[in-house]
A and B are shown apart, each in its own frame.
Chain A
Amino acid sequence: MSTLSILDVQHLTKTYDTGAGKLTVLKDISFTLPAGSTCSILGPSGSGKTTLLGLCAGLDRPTSGSVLLNGITLGEEGEDERARIRNEHVGFVFQNFQLIPTLTALENVTVPMELRGDRGARQLGLDLLRRVGLAERVDHYPAQLSGGEQQRVALARAFINRPKVLFADEPTGNLDAETSSSVIEIMLELNRSAGTALVLVTHDSDVANLTERTVRLRNGEMV
């Protein structure tokens, strides 16, 4: 592993047992990502992009190979330990925003810190919502926000823990072109100012071109 890499993926393979037999969705994937850099994972539907993102973020365990996140081998840790690692080192942004509908914008943003038992989250959450342009919407529920606003809340939530890596799964997939570019802009700006590495799953080669590196997948293999 390079001393500067924040994510080191080596010979990663993931196979699922299905009723019809074994299904290999990722085959022998290897790449490294330096701290503070940006990377996109590009590929058609069903190429294994989301599975790769999930394995890199510690949401699942690989069948073989390894993922080192900030020097920690994720595959060796139990589920609760991986949850702690995610909480401390990882931020997420999803295509469908994944805000908790029963929490206000501010409450959604502060959840990761609250889970750690950190009581000073409120002010930080307010600052982040201000930075993403939602200072006036802190007490609104997700249903009361537009798609772009919800994604900006999700971004604020992703950055509240000052993560080492931000994983974004099709973050602009549900947004119009104008909102999409503003969301990507905010992500890149936060990447620059906070030094957070960015891993972006996308279909869009224009968005992929904005990142320093691109991992292309086809049928579960790097091409």
Chain B
Amino acid sequence: MAWRDSRSSRRRLLLFSISITLGIAALVSISSFRHSLSRAIDDQARGLIGADLVIESTRPFRPEDEELLHSLGEPQAREIRFATMASFPKSNGTRLTSVRALGGGFPFYGPMETVPAAAAREFRQGAQAIVEESLLLQFHAEVGDPIKIGESQFTIAGALKKMPGEASAAGSFAPRVYIPLQDLAATNLLKIGSIARYRAYVKFPENTDVESRIEMLGPQIKRLGLEFDTVAKRKRDLGTSLENLYRFLNLIGFISLLLGAVGVASAIQAHLQQKTRTGAILRCLGMSAAGTVLVYLVQTAAMGLFGAGFGAVLGVAMQRVFPRILMSFLPLAISTSIAWRPIVAGIFTGFSICILFALPPLLRFRRLSPLRVFRAAMEVESAPRGRDPVLWAVYALIVAGITGFSISQTDTLKHGLAFAAALFLAVGIFAGVAKLLIIGIRKFFPHGRSFVLRQGLANLYRPNNRTLLLTLSLGLGTFLLLNLYLTREVLLAQFSSVGTKNQPNIFFFDIQPDQKAGVAELVRASGMPVIQEAPIVTMRLAEVKGRRTTEILLDSQRKTPEWELEREYRTTYREQLTDTEKISAGHWIGRVDYHPDDKVPISLDADIAKDLGTKIGDELIFDVQGVPIKTTVASTRTVDWKRFQTNFFVLFPAGVLENAPTFHVLVSRVETPADSAKLQNAIVARFPNVSAIDLTSVIQTVDSILGKVALVIRVMSLFTVGAGLIVLASTIWSGRYQRLQESILLRTLGASRLQIWKILCAEYFLLGLFASLTGIVLAVGASWGLAKFVFKLGYAPSLWPLFVAAGAVSLLTVAVGLIASRGVGSAPPLEILRAEAE
């Protein structure tokens, strides 16, 4: 019966089923991608760090460190990496780079990919460098050209394509340049106090049980104050971050599926409305209520299965998209293949959601009275309301299903519940806005306006309207895309606004004490101001309130984050506070007359002080490059970290660190990129060890990284928008019969085709406009909330994206609406006199 009954509506049912297709495609493609990723991580595990063990230090390895390293056996490789300026004599360009001086046969696992391939091996012989491909492109440099690093000149042996375990985005801020370790000294760049990281790469013999070996070594390495990385650790970290990404993308995909499911429910409702007479006739002829529902449940199930199956096929095809857009963030190569588990899971999820959402209208259908057969065909079926326990059970099941899925896709129960609650809240807000809209239109109806406009507006609140559904689907899509855009704008605005208000926009660092005056003089001679100068002394935290940091680190109950105990603090000393600092507790002491073993009154950033669990008067001991210095917390400060200038977690008074190994930072402002390049070239030419960070290039890099991240989310949001548009099309299609009747009637009564089209245009435009405005208002609210409470930044969104969003969504709605309504305006009016059959 279900099959025979569907004869007249198979095409329409197929269209409805497409509503869930994009949602399923999103879920299947993401799950398949995760599957491929997990496989790639397993297959290429050893290549994740290129060795079995990496030991790292921020200072040169001491004899006791070397002793440990020696005990680990061969082969080993060493690397010293630091940031410095590289210059390209041919194009006269300079740029901050991450120089890696490499000695030994690293990587032991996975290849160092270069062009030409042989360069990865040959550069180690000396006087040659491997340079990040993007850097070569930026300065139009080629293999064979010179590159100057510090006081040495190298020949470019090849372009770096990939290093095991590193994503290409790793070189975004400071592109990588590999030089032979034996040539490092000649560059004359590393001085006492210079910031560098020293690494030892270890490869264990073939049959070593790496896990247990490292388990034994771990405490020993920690005790020496060294950091280490292993394949298992990297795999775990990578797995965690990729799992988070997967879950995030999957939740967005789930939203698309939910939208599609709501669309299916709405389409089923419209379908059943048109089947009222058939249903009533079947009831009259003796079919049971359950039997009638079953006829349409079977049709829905077939529809769900088709939509889910088609979605799965699309998802499998689309999984290839993710490796492409995530390529620069992934440290490994991914090959995609067909995995059945995600496909089956996707089809099952989509099918279940489809049935679940279609159940409420189907269950209402079982209450259809056989008397309906005697009622007029064009009568509007109003959904019976009441206390139907089965219906409420289905609603409860829908809520439970959504909550359950959310919990399964987040790392904690709390997050899952929060996501589900946010989802219900968003739906509630959109529904509330749609309801308010309907009430508002009725209350403030523009009676004096043209018939076309009034007709279009009135269609938004008339019986059987789809205003709520379409506000939800179109509005949610607008909300997701716009929120993403506005948040990205907020993040970028913090840089650009600072750069335009006569604020500093270029930093020079690694300036040695004897170069300080020379650099400042050169800056002034170039016509640029010296806005700020600060000496930097690097140190580590050795003790907090009498407890050694190594001991605290081993404490499982500790609340202080690991990085705050392990990090290298770059500290300054001065007599005055700057305008970005404000004392929040205690008193600032700007100068002391220091004698060894005195306790130095320091000032801590308020957040760090809180994390360390310290208050005014508490004692901290810093290890200043081998010399312990006792301090007491004399004050805490709030620091405006958003300001682009030198800010510090720890501040010493003048009179203590003057003789410690120091380098200086100088802050200036350049007006144009050309001035910046000129100044950087002049400084590097005279002081090769001095490095520069130009705010403009930082903004460009941040923009490019945010752009890449945003692209991933945008692709997922497009699923939502796409699902919204399909829901729009199928909703319009589902109301097409009624539209056609109305349109024919209007034409019979004398309406021209143009008038019919104008009414349709007005309705769809207003629908798109109201839905997008709802999305825009919520996106502005959400991005404001993110800016204020998460990023703690100012909020001043530009208006044009809002107008563009409103215009684009409205026009898109009109376009989709008109396509789905084609034929409505030109149906021959004589049809009205013919049978008013289904």
**Chain A residues within 8 Å of B, Cβ to Cβ:** 50-51, 53-54, 59-60, 79-80, 83-88, 90, 92, 94, 96-103, 107, 111-112, 114-117, 119, 141-143, 147, 150, 157, 169, 174
Instruction: Known contacts A96-B836, A98-B832, A141-B380; decide if A103 and B749 are in contact (CB<8 Å).
Output: no
How far does the Cβ of B84 sit from chain A's closest Cβ, in whole Å? 73
CB distance from B34 to the nearest CB of A (A): 47
Q: Does A84 contact B745, Cβ atoms closer than 8 Å? A: no
User: Which listed residue, A53, A79, A101, touches B463 by the CB 8 Å rule?
Assistant: A101
The 0/1 profile, CB within 8 Å of A marked 1, for residues 690-732 of chain B is 0000000000000000000000000000000000000000000
Give the Cβ gap from B442 to chain A, nearest Cβ, in Å: 11
Q: Which residues of B contact A116 (CB under 8 A)?
A: 750
Asked if residues A102 and B745 are in contact (CB atoms below 8 Å), the reply is no
User: Nearest CB to that of A161 among chain B residues?
Assistant: B750
**Distance from A60 Cβ to chain B, minimum over Cβ atoms (Å):** 4
Q: Quick one: CB contact mask for B753-773 with A, threshold 8 Å, 1 for yes? A: 111000000000000000000
Select which of A53, A97, A115 is within 8 A of B749 by beta carbon. A115
Q: How far is the CA of A111 from the CA of B753 in the complex (A)?
A: 15
A residues near B459, Cβ cutoff 8 Å: 102
> Which of B746, B749, B752 has most chain A Cβ within 10 Å?
B749
On whether the beta carbons of B378 and A98 are closer than 8 Å, the reply is yes
Is B830 located at the chain interface by the 8 A CB criterion? Answer: yes
List 17 A–B pairs whose Cβ atoms lie within 8 Å, in order of A's numbering.
A53-B833, A59-B829, A59-B832, A79-B753, A80-B753, A83-B750, A83-B752, A84-B752, A94-B832, A94-B833, A96-B378, A98-B745, A100-B742, A102-B458, A115-B749, A115-B755, A147-B376
User: How many angstroms from the CA of A111 to the CA of B451 in the assembled complex?
Assistant: 9
A102-B462, A102-B464 known; A60 vs B830 contact (CB < 8 Å): yes
- The docked-state distance in angstroms from the alpha carbon of A99 to that of B380 is 11
Expressed in whole angstroms, the Cα–Cα distance for A99 and B832 within the complex equals: 11
B749 touches A112 (CB 8 A): yes
The residue from B376, B378, B747, B832 contacting A83, defined by CB atoms under 8 A apart: B747
- Residues of chain B within 8 A (CB-CB) of A169 are 833
Give the docked Cα–Cα distance between A59 and B827 (Å): 11
* A87, B750: Cβ atoms closer than 8 Å: yes
Q: How far, in Å, is B403 (CB) from chain A's closest CB?
A: 36
| B379 lies within 8 A of chain A by Cβ | yes
On chain B, the residues within 8 Å of A147 by CB distance are 376
Check B749–A54 contact: CB distance below 8 A: no
Report the minimal beta-carbon distance from A151 to chain B, rounded to whole angstroms.
Answer: 10
Cβ–Cβ contact B833 & A97, under 8 A = no
B377 sits at the interface (CB 8 A): yes
CA distance in complex: A67, B530 (Å): 94
When chains A and B are docked, how far (Å) is the Cα of A174 from the Cα of B374? 10
Contact yes or no, B451 A112, CB < 8 A? no
Q: Could you list 9 further interchain pairs (A-B, Cβ under 8 angstroms) beyond the known A98-B741, A174-B376?
A: A54-B833, A90-B750, A94-B832, A100-B746, A101-B464, A103-B458, A111-B746, A115-B746, A119-B448
Closest 6 CB pairs of A and B: A87-B750, A102-B462, A114-B451, A143-B380, A59-B830, A60-B830
Contact of B828 among A60, A87, A88, A92 (CB under 8 A): A60
B752 to chain A, nearest CB (A): 4
Interface residues of B (CB under 8 A from A): 376-380, 382, 448, 450-451, 455, 458-459, 462-465, 738, 741-742, 745-755, 828-830, 832-834, 836
Which residues on the B side are within 8 Å of A150 (C-beta)? 376
Docked-complex contact A87 and B380, CB < 8 angstroms: no
A98: chain B residues within 8 A (beta carbon): 378, 741, 745, 748, 832
Q: Which residues of A contact B748 (CB under 8 A)?
A: 59, 86, 92, 98
A57 to B382, CA, bound (A): 34
Q: Which B residues touch A92, using CB under 8 A?
A: 748-749
Q: Are B830 and A86 in contact (CB under 8 A)?
A: no
A54-B379 contact in complex given A59-B748, A141-B463, C-beta closer than 8 Å? no
* Cα-based distance from A117 to B450 in the complex (angstroms): 7
Q: Which residues of B contact A119 (CB under 8 A)?
A: 448
Give CA–CA (A79, B753) in the complex, Å. Answer: 9
For residue A174, which residue of chain B has the nearest CB? B376
- Asked if B380 and A101 sit within 8 Å, CB to CB, the answer is yes
- Note all chain A residues with C-beta closer than 8 A to B451: 114-115, 117
Shortest Cβ distance from residue B754 to the other chain A in the assembled complex, whole angstroms = 8
Taken together as a complex, chains A and B put the C-alpha atoms of A213 and B225 apart, in Å, by 113
Instruction: Give the nearest-CB partner of A79 in chain B.
Output: B753
- Bound together, the chains give a CA A25 to CA B399 distance in angstroms of 58
Shortest distance between the CB of A120 and any CB in chain B (Å): 12
User: Whole-angstrom distance from the CB of A118 to the nearest CB of chain B?
Assistant: 9
Question: B460 → chain A, closest Cβ, in Å?
Answer: 10
A99-B378 CB under 8 A given contacts A87-B750, A141-B463, A169-B833: yes
Q: CA A92 – CA B742 in complex, angstroms?
A: 15
B-side contacts of A54, CB under 8 Å: 830, 833
Contact B742 A102 (CB under 8 A): yes
Minimum Cβ distance to chain B for residue A212 (Å): 23
Q: Would A96 and B377 be within 8 Å (CB), given that A50-B834, A141-B463, A169-B833 are in contact?
A: yes
* A107 CB → nearest B CB, Å: 8
Pair B376/A97 contact, Cβ less than 8 Å: yes
A84 nearest in chain B by CB position? B750
**A133 CB to nearest chain B CB (Å):** 20
Minimum Cβ distance to chain B for residue A165 (Å)? 13
- A143 engages B379 (CB within 8 Å): yes
Rounded to whole angstroms, the CA-CA distance of A45 and B464 in the bound complex is: 35
Q: A55's closest neighbor in chain B, by CB?
A: B830
B750 — nearest CB in chain A belongs to which residue? A87
With A54-B833, A101-B463, A102-B464 given, is the CB distance from A86 to B378 under 8 Å? Answer: no
Q: Within the complex, what minimum Cβ distance (angstroms) separates A104 from chain B?
A: 9
Report the nearest B residue to A98, measured CB to CB.
B745
Give bound CA distance, A142 to B377, whole Å: 12
Shortest beta-carbon distance, A172 to chain B, in Å? 14
Min CB gap A108→B, angstroms: 9
Contact B832 A86 (CB under 8 A): no
Which residues of the other chain, A, contact B750 by a CB distance below 8 angstroms?
83-88, 90, 112, 115-116
Contact A59 B833 (CB under 8 A): yes
CA distance A92 to B459 in the complex (A): 24
Contact residues in A for B833 (Cβ distance below 8 Å): 50, 53-54, 59, 94, 169
Q: Does A102 lie within 8 Å of B463, measured CB to CB?
A: yes
A60-B828, A86-B749, A115-B750 known; A103-B379 Cβ under 8 A: no
Which residue on chain B has the smallest CB distance to residue A90? Answer: B750
Q: What separation, in Å, do the CA atoms of A87 and B836 have in the docked complex?
A: 23
Across the interface, name the chain B residue whose C-beta is closest to A81: B752
A98 CA / B744 CA spacing, docked (Å): 10
Contacts of B380 in A (CB 8 A): 101-102, 141-143
